[in-house]
A and B are shown apart, each in its own frame.
Chain A
Amino acid sequence: MNPWPFVIAAYALTLLGTAALCIGSWRAMRSAERRAGEMKRDRG
């Protein structure tokens, strides 16, 4: 049995999952902090 498809699948799933979580967390943080900043400015 050729092991490389298994190795590549494991690495691809891990890196895709980690990248998706990093990008999702970063975008959510940017969006929430921008909205919080805008509300603070509007009030100020």
Chain B
Amino acid sequence: MHAFANPARFLSIARPLTPWLFWPGLALLVAGCLSGLFLTPADYLQGETVRILYIHVPAAWLGMSGWTGIAVAGLVQLVWRHPLAAIAGRAIAAPGALFTAICLITGSIWGRPTWGTWWEWDGRMTSMLVLFFLYLGYMALANASAASGERGGVSRVTAIFGLVGAINIPIINRSVVWWNSLHQGPSITLGGSSIASSMLWPLGLTVLGFSLLFGAIVLMRMRTILAETRIEARLRRMARD
């Protein structure tokens, strides 16, 4: 892992990898959305609103995966002092927050015609809202660290916040099992799926497409932070000389 600790080596991989993640991700996303909108049948119970599933589920997956990534980056930063870990954590935060917000909004839009309400304070929705606020707190802390001149913009406190916040991820995952909820139980588990295969396949396309796009966005943001760090270092050197 420390072989990639050198930002120059990381950039030599990230530069060609960014378009290789972005364009296939975009193609899969478009194919999955069009298939989910026009090719799959409507659900016998939920009707046409089931089509929201093809964007809601990937958004939920990326919201939770994003925070898992922040927690792993925080751990790597604290234990191994990997110079890119702080940058990775900071780069993940904004797309993670966006996809958590998309998950909450599309879930709310789906809930109105299906449950008859925009919002319910049950375990799944509340824990997902908590995740969104955790992202906002992480971004505020990371921006404050960056403003105070921390390298990569993530202080030890921010990394610890990322680690502690990860306790919310299993709570989100198990909330529909632990508490009574309007939200349906887990449809896709390691044991299989309760969704008919005729309706399931576009979900694979959108999950993979959004995930590749998420990877491309994180790489772009990491490259931005690295370039800004280089500019700041050069400006400091020029001011000293």
Hey, which bits of chain A sit against chain B, CB under 8 A? Answer: 1, 3-4, 6-7, 9-11, 13-15, 17-18, 21-22, 25-26, 28-29, 32-33, 35-36, 39-40, 43
- Provided the pairs A6-B49, A14-B59 are in contact, do residues A36 and B231 lie with their beta carbons within 8 angstroms? yes
**Is B78's beta carbon under 8 Å from chain A?**
no
Main secondary structure of the interface of A (DSSP, over half): helix
**Is B89's beta carbon under 8 Å from chain A?**
no
A6 and B220 contact, CB distance less than 8 A: no
Main secondary structure of the interface of B (DSSP, over half): helix
Q: Which 3 A-B pairs have the closest CB atoms?
A: A32-B227, A36-B227, A25-B220
Q: Min CB distance, B109 to chain A, in Å?
A: 5
Q: Min CB distance, B165 to chain A, in Å?
A: 21
In the bound complex, CA of A26 to CA of B169 (Å) = 29
B106 and A13 contact, CB distance less than 8 A: yes
Hey, which bits of chain B sit against chain A, CB under 8 A? Answer: 22, 29, 33, 37, 47-49, 51-52, 55-56, 59, 94-95, 98, 101-102, 105-106, 109-110, 112-113, 210, 213, 216-217, 220-221, 223-224, 227-228, 230-231, 234-235
A-B contact pairs, 7 of them (CB 8 A): A7-B49, A13-B105, A17-B101, A18-B210, A25-B224, A28-B221, A29-B221
CB-nearest residue of chain B to A36: B227
In the bound complex, CA of A35 to CA of B202 (Å) = 41
B109 and A6 contact, CB distance less than 8 A: yes
B231 and A25 contact, CB distance less than 8 A: no
Most buried by B among A15, A22, A29: A29
Most buried by B among A10, A13, A21: A10
